Every structure is written in C-alpha cells, then in structure tokens.
Structure 1
C-alpha cells in the first residue's frame, strides 16, 4: 500500500535539527560567516558579510559537504546587490558500462584539475562505483557532484522496475555520506509535467538520462516520481550532510526545435516551488537549465528561470545553439554558454567534442573544458565581474613586451600555448612565424627604444 510505504520511508529519515546550524545556509541565517564563506570572499575579492547575506537568501550556493576535507570552497551565484561571482565550470566524467576503464577516468580527473575546473561530476553508471567516487572526493579540491539515479541500478543490484522509493533514498544517503558536495535530483518531473509532455509532444522526447529512467519507472509502476513524492525525506538527508541540491531539468530540450516548449516550462514552474521548499529545509539550491536552444532564445530563458526560481543560482548545459555539429559540439556549447552566462547563468557544464558520439577521452576533456572556460571568462568580462579583465590586461602587457614565458603562464592552457609556439621556431628571435621580422610589437618597441628598424 502507498500509505504503508510512506510511513516506512518517513520513519527512515530524520528531520533537520532546527537549533544547531549544519549547512552553509543555516550558518548564514544565524549571522555566522563560516570558513567556507570567508574563503569564497577572499577568492572573489568580496566582503565576507556580502557572501554571508547572499548565502542566507539563497542567491549564492557554496556546495561543501561536511565530509569533503580536501575541498577548496567555491561560490555559485550573485551577491544581493546583483554583482555576480565568477562563472563556475563543471567537468563530467565517470565509468561507463561500455568503457569501464578507471585509469582513463583518472586521466580525465588530472586534466580537469590541471586546467582549474571548479567542479567535477562523477556520472559513473556501471557496477560498484563507490570506490572511485570516494577516492575522487578524498583527492579533489574541486566540488564533486553526482546523479544518484545513475548509480541506483548498480548500487542496488536490482532492475529498474524493482527499485522502491526507499531504495532511491538509500542511494542518495550513500552519496551524501561519502562526501558529495551537490547532487542532481530530478524532482520536478511530476505527473503534471508528464501530462503536459504527452499532450504537447516533442521532436526529441526526453533526453535527460536520469529523467528518462524516472519516466520509465513512473510509467511501469503507475506511481508518482519518487523524488517528488518523498522530496522532504530527500531534503532531510541532504541537510544532515550539507549537500547542495541541484534541481535537475529532466525536461530540458534535446534539440532546438523543443526549446522553450510546454514541458520545459511546466517543469521549471515546479522547480521554482521545490527551490523554496529546499530553502525552508535549510538546504542550498542550484537549478539546472536547458541543453539545446537557438541563440535568440537564451537570454529570455535565463531571465525566466531567475524569475520563476527566485534568483537561485542557475546551472546550464551549453546551451548548444545548433544541432548539426557532432564532433564540434564543444564549440556550439561554448557559444551558447557565453550568451547564457552573460544573461545571468552562474555555472556552466562543459560539453566535449565527443558529445552525442561516444564517451569522451582525456583529450576531449581538455578541448571541452578550455572551450567552456573561455565562454565563462568572456561572460565574466561582459557582465562586469570585478577583476575579470585583470588577467587579460596582464596578457596584453606581456604581448606588448613579447614576453613569451609570461604569455604561456597567463594562458588558460599553458602547455598547449607553449607546444604550438615551439612547434614552429621563428628565425628572428623574440617573434613567431606569423610575422617574423615584421612583428608589429617588435617593430614599435624598437622605435620607442630609439633603435633603427631594419627588415633586410
């Protein structure tokens, strides 16, 4: 009986303690600046009190599980005066059933950390994944995120249809206890949203992996989405360990044709309601956003999300601005990501050249991460994030002085910049093979130093 199951699930989860602060939002509401808030303030060049006030209001999330000892805290969102923090970037990786090579995944982790990813999502979905996840949390200073739904079948060793709501909660608890900083929970795709999806139809249906699994479970069992039905119990688990909930967009559009349709907006309305419920439970929130969208729709979608979800931090995949570039989707996503972040998105999930084709390798991770970091940085400049131009100005000064080592050090990917330069040594010292002895920088520097310029 549903009533009996509700009782058993509720009894298995304890409610958050109202008196003692546990989460960053608890402490912020109590007027306390935590070490994590102080670290974010220092990294962003802001006053600690400004960070605290924004965390208290839900405008900034600092995903920081109490068990993640190696974490360097990062803030996602904007201060109450509307000044954004730097746009954060996430890398997806994880063990796949078809390519279950843990060594390759560690190569990806190394690239992500080398290039300064702010977060790593472990999307492992095959076999017993806990050993990889716990080691990643132990070693990574970046925020760690997961999608417990992906892990449910391997963790529980059950078929999808045999999994119960209690089982789903068990997996969420396991991830929280392991030290995961944020979890994607597809709680917004309830029966109302499914009805809208079925009535209006789509070209690409449901492309969210987690969303498709929950949809299959709902259709087979006739039940409500367990993460929606037992949302309060999910929140109690997350509060206990200070895990930020990233409200997943199960109905994100998988093609430009489906963007901003009834199903996407119906789910977004539900996500706004769930955002307030999470805040009321003392749980930090991020809201996930669309995947494919024409360029002219992006800014409006960012504003709509912020309005419906009460200015909670927004986390987007891309958006990919066209659908015909397999092998180059890191570029289509970077274009969309730059526009999205300029218009208000706070957190970009990278897309690699392998998107829609295969599991990415370490080289794909490098290409996808750098492209997304370019998008994030370009947006930070455009929206006036304090200090965003400083590194660009130092790069420009180094270029004026033709100081190659300084240029390499300032590059987003120093190894790549140095390798490209050294692959074709110039014949004229202090130049490159693009201009050689006709280098504009060298010519003007020589003139300014009172030297005679000779091109012979």
Structure 2
C-alpha cells in the first residue's frame, strides 16, 4: 500500500477501492472526487481495520448523509437491544452509526458493532476513557486518553469525535460571556472538568500532533467536536461557540498538512433565522471542510417531538452547506431512545437530507420524487409503496381505511381530483 490515508492517496492520484465504492452511489466524476478528497472538501471515513465497510463519502457535491447514535449506558445496559438497533439502523438505510457507550464491556460491544456493520462507525473516546478506567475525570492521565484513542482505532472505528477546540481561551470566553445552559456537550463537559480541576490545557489540543499520528496510522477521520455547541436558542452563535470554531478551523489545516481527513461538528440548538449564517461561518472559518450537525434543533419547547424540530433545522442546514446530519429522536432530552424512537429519528433525518439534496441540486436527487409523482398520477399503489421512504407505514395507513373504489383513497373517494383530471386531460381520441 503506497498511501497512508484516503487523502494521501487522492493527492497521489490513486483511486482507492473505497473511492470506487463512493462512485457507485454518487453521481460525481472520479476526477472531481479525487480533487475534493485531496483538498479536504470530501472525507471518506474508512479505517483500514474495518474489513466489511462499504465506504461512503461526506462532503461537497455528494448526497447528505445521516448518522445514528446508540450504545449502552449504566441505566440502560442491554447489549442485545443495542445490537438490534445497529442492525435495524442499517436496514433503515442509515449511513453511519456512532457508538456512544459509557458502561460495561464497551470494547466487546464496539468490536461487535464494527464486525456486523457495513456502514461507517464513529465513537467519542473521552466517554470510553471514563468507562474504561473507572477514575474521577480529573485523575485520567494524558496517556490514558490517548491509549483509548489507539484502542478505538485498532478496533476499526472510522471516525472519532475529539473536542480539541475547547481550549483554555475558549473556556475564558465562556466565563466572560455567561450562558443560560452552560456546556451541554457530554465530551465538552468532561474535558472542561479535567482542564479546570487540573489547571491545564486540553490534552487533545496540546498534543494534537500525537493525535494526528494515530489517525494517520489507521486512516481514522477526525470529527472535530463542538464541545461548546449551544444547548438552547438563547446561547446560539455566541462568543464561546465562535471562539471554538476559529480554533477548529486552525486545526483543520493541521489535519490536512498531515494527510488526515477531517470533519467539523456543528451547533445543536439554533433559531431558524441563524441556521444559514452558522453554515456560512463554518464553511468560511473551516475552509470548506465537511460539516456535521446535530439537528440543529430550532425550538426548545417540543420535547417528544424533537425529531421534527431537528428535521426542520437539518433540512435548512443541509440545503446551505451541512454535509452530514446526526439524527435526533422523539426521546431527545427525555430518555435513551428505544427502537421505535430510533426509527422515527432515522426517517425524519432522511427526509431532511433528501429535501436538502433536492435544494442543493444534487444530480439525480429529484428523480425519486418524479417517479413517485408519476405513480400517484397513475394511482399505482404498488409502485407508490415501493418508492416510499417507509413502505410499511404507508401500506398500514392505506390498509386501515379502505375505499369503495380501490383505485382511489378515502380522502376524496369519487371526488378524486387526480383520477378526474387524468381522465379529462389524457382522454384518447
């Protein structure tokens, strides 16, 4: 193997097997793919130890991808349930799975997840450091943190969220610009605790070259985490968030200098009128790197419906530059999601991603909608169900209310506008 990472290969003009897999799914010329991987505008997370991976690209000119979060916790430690979520996520066409486990034998679960998953796998090593060592956060050593990063890389994790931009300067911005909800990122809060208690700089920022060496060795994509993302609308686009984003932009350049692929993680709660500006800021400050957003959630008052609030924000965000949407379920802010919550979150995120792809003019995106519209005009129910994003739900709705005329539905019955106008406008002779 003459190249260390997908980025290094692209810079040598080498079309890797993973790039060929991306070309199967995407309507992009191979020369454009090579150029955008080489300059960092597309990332292909593909750890060399993830043997059954079917690689996908994230970034400029590609379809918007979606991620599913899952994993075991102390309060909900059912490994079989979480593995079933992994399988179901793949069936529901998620593009990535993040294992956020914080309890039990996290390595066994992570290895099994990698083993059964053809989709890319992400993790947050800081979570696992707490679970693995059983220490107070402040007592975890720098070497402990990096040992966990190496373990995740060895296990085949394709991308890792590392909150390297949460520096002491950013913390000072947070203190001098008080927030309503402080720090809502779990990884961000853990590092804030470590830095404050030990009166030290963020170890991942201070030893960033050490992190790059590990990522390059296994071709792990860095997902630079937003430890200071806003946790409510009032805190959106504030000084601390932007301070961290500036640092992430600087770290992006260091990643590319080391042939390491990188994505940038973005805000969680953002008023609708600030979503586009946030996308523009990230793309500008982080030099066009792929952008990975949680939602964003556009109102704080809809617990139980946050898959909808995030789909609204996600569609707008992706239409204006976000490349990767992290799903949000109805259980957000309330509890660990179950399998039904997970499905609702996946479908909502897929709707947002597809709507954005149409808006961005991704080649071929609207063809799916045109095919559905043709089937609707023809009242071809079988084709409509086959084309539906969730065929089972569509079939169940129709089966629950049967019309007298099986060609139409019970909304209009004999007054079906589609049937009537078709008969008039397509009348032969």
**For 1:286, what is the secondary structure of its paired residue?**
strand
Q: Does the aligned pair in 2 maintain the 1:33–1:49 contact within 8 Å? A: no
Q: Tell me which residue corresponds to 2:310.
A: 333
- For residue 248 of structure 1, the aligned residue among 213, 225, 230 is 225
2:101 matched to 1:124?
yes
Whole-Å separation in 2 of the counterparts to 1:323 and 1:285: 30
Q: Does 1:71 align with 2:53?
A: yes
Q: In the alignment, is the contact (CA less than 8 A) between 1:93 and 1:123 conserved in 2?
A: yes
Match of 2:146 among 165, 169, 184: 169
Residue 43 of structure 1 corresponds to 25
**In 1: Cα distance, 2:410 partner to 2:92 partner:** 27
> Which piece of structure 1 moves more, 151-160 or 229-238?
151-160
TM-score, structure 1 length as denominator? 0.92
Which of 135, 154, 162 is equivalent to 1:185?
A: 162
Selected match of 1:155 from 94, 115, 132: 132
How many residues are aligned here?
Answer: 428
TM-score normalised by length of structure 2 = 0.97
* More displaced 10-residue stretch of structure 1: 433-442 or 220-229: 433-442
Q: Distance in 2 between matches of 1:450 and 1:413?
A: 33
Q: Secondary structure at the match of 1:183?
A: strand
Pair 1:393-2:370 in alignment: yes
Contact 1:61–1:76 (CA under 8 A) maintained in structure 2 = yes
Within a 5 Å distance, the mapping from 1:279-358 to structure 2 comes to 279-358=256-335
Q: Which runs of 5+ in 2 are unaligned?
A: none
Partners of 1:330 and 1:189 in 2: CA distance: 28
Determine if contact 1:188/1:249 at 8 Å carries over to the other structure.
yes
Give yes or no for contact 2:28–2:62 (8 Å, CA) kept in 1: no
Name the SS of the counterpart of 1:417 in structure 2: helix
- How much has 1:449 moved relative to structure 2? 6.5
User: Match for residue 111 of structure 1?
Assistant: 88
Equivalence map 1:411-422=2 (5 Å): 411-422=388-399
- Equivalent in the alignment of 1:81: none
Contact kept? 1:77, 1:312, Cα under 8 Å: yes
Which whole-Å CA distance do the structure 2 matches of 1:232 and 1:449 have between them? 67
Shift of 1:101: 1.2
- Equivalents in 2 of 1:159, 1:410: separation in Å? 51
Partner Cα distance (2:128, 2:62) in 1: 32
Deviations 1:248-279 (A, max 9, x none): 00000001100110000000000001101111
| Corresponding residue of 1:232 | 209
Distance in 1 (CA, whole Å) between partners of 2:389 and 2:39 is 33
In the alignment, structure 1 residue 62 sits paired with structure 2 residue 44: yes
Shift of 1:20: 4.2
1:355-394 CA distance string (max 9 Å, x none): 0000000111111111111111111111111111010000
Structure 2 residue corresponding to 1:429, chosen from 406, 425, 428:
406
Residue by residue, what CA displacement relative to the aligned partner does 1:289-320 show, whole Å, maximum 9, x if unpaired?
Answer: 00001111111111111111010000001111
In structure 2, C-alpha distance between the alignment counterparts of 1:227 and 1:235, rounded to whole Å: 10
Counterparts in 2 of 1:355-374, with a 5 A limit?
A: 355-374=332-351
The equivalent of 1:21 in structure 2 is 3
Equivalent runs, 1:132-147 vs 2, <5 Å: 132-147=109-124
Cα deviation digits, residues 75-119 of structure 1 (max 9, x gap): 1111xxxxx211111111111111111222123223311211111
* Distance in structure 2 (CA, Å) of the matches to 1:389 and 1:276: 35
Could you say which residue in structure 2 is the equivalent of 1:265? 242
Cα distance, 1:447 vs. partner?
4.3
**Which residue does 1:376 correspond to in 2?**
353
Distance in 2 between the 1:43 and 1:371 partners? Answer: 21
User: After the TM superposition, which of the residue ranges 250-259 and 157-166 deviates more from structure 2?
Assistant: 157-166
